[in-house]
């Protein structure tokens, strides 16, 4: 009887260890660009790899909105952008409270802005863009459930411009840009681990 009890404990331990191998951590994160403030925001969903607690898949949806009026030129600008991204990141642990994040992400974006001028009230420019970003950041764990951090995303962007003036479409020159366009403050929340 005692041998059966020990065998049962061993089998239960093995099954628990196998079940833990398929547990995946989940996180929600919101980032606000420090340079452009609440004009540029991103929301993330991060899902941990099945067997590696330091690697995560990341999916992102972001938006940018800016509008202003120049009284000297009677020019108004209304700029909007929406983008989607998908990639992964890995984390290097410095201490219990701090981790460095490094990843890669592909994204696509649509941007348009209307330039309202007295002489040309119907001019509008839009662009499609896609590219590769390299997210680099540091997160500070406040507890097991939440964290704060900073992140920047240098990368390469291919952009196609379309100019609509009086319903006449002209295609601008294609451009490839490289650089760092943002520096964001991040707020993250971890939800209970799920089995997938």
pLDDT at 74: 56
* Domains annotated on the chain, with CATH: 24-195 (2.40.160.20)
Chain center to CA of 1: 56
pLDDT at 27: 93
pLDDT at 166: 53
Phi, psi angles (nearest 5°) of residue 11: -65, -40
E-assigned strands of 134-183? 136-141, 146-152, 155-165, 168-171, 175-179
Q: Could you tell me the sign of the dihedral formed by the alpha carbons of 116, 120, 121, 126, in that order?
A: negative
Beta-sheet pairing, 75-93 with 146-152: unpaired
DSSP-H helix ranges across 51-181: none
Query: pLDDT tens track of the chain, all 196 residues?
Result: 455 445 554 555 555 444 444 567 899 999 999 887 788 899 999 999 888 888 999 999 999 887 766 666 556 667 788 999 999 999 999 888 999 999 999 999 988 776 555 445 556 677 888 999 999 999 999 888 899 999 999 999 998 877 665 555 566 667 777 876 688 999 999 987 766 5
Cβ within 8 Å of residue 30, ≥6 positions away: 41, 42, 43, 44, 186, 187, 188
Cβ within 8 Å of residue 170, ≥6 positions away: 162, 163
pLDDT at 37: 73
Cβ within 8 Å of residue 143, ≥6 positions away: none
């Amino acid at each position: 009887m005692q041998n059966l009890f020990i065998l049962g404990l061993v089998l239960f331990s093995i099954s628990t260890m196998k079940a833990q191998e398929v547990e995946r951590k989940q996180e929600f994160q919101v980032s606000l660009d420090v340079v452009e403030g609440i004009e540029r925001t991103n929301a993330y969903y991060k899902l941990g790899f099945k067997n590696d607690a330091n690697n995560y898949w990341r999916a992102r949806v972001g938006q940018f909105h800016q509008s202003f009026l120049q009284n000297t030129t009677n020019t108004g600008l209304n700029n909007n952008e929406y983008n989607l991204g998908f990639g992964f990141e890995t984390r290097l642990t410095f201490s219990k409270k701090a981790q460095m994040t490094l990843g890669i992400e592909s994204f696509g974006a649509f941007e348009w802005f209307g330039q309202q001028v007295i002489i040309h009230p119907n001019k509008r420019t839009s662009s499609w863009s896609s590219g590769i970003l390299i997210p680099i950041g540091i997160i500070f764990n406040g507890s097991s459930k939440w964290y704060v951090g900073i992140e920047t995303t240098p990368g390469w962007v291919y952009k196609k411009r379309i100019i609509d003036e009086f319903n006449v479409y002209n295609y601008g020159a294609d451009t490839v840009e490289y650089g760092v366009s943002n520096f964001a403050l991040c707020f993250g929340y971890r939800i209970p681990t799920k089995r997938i």
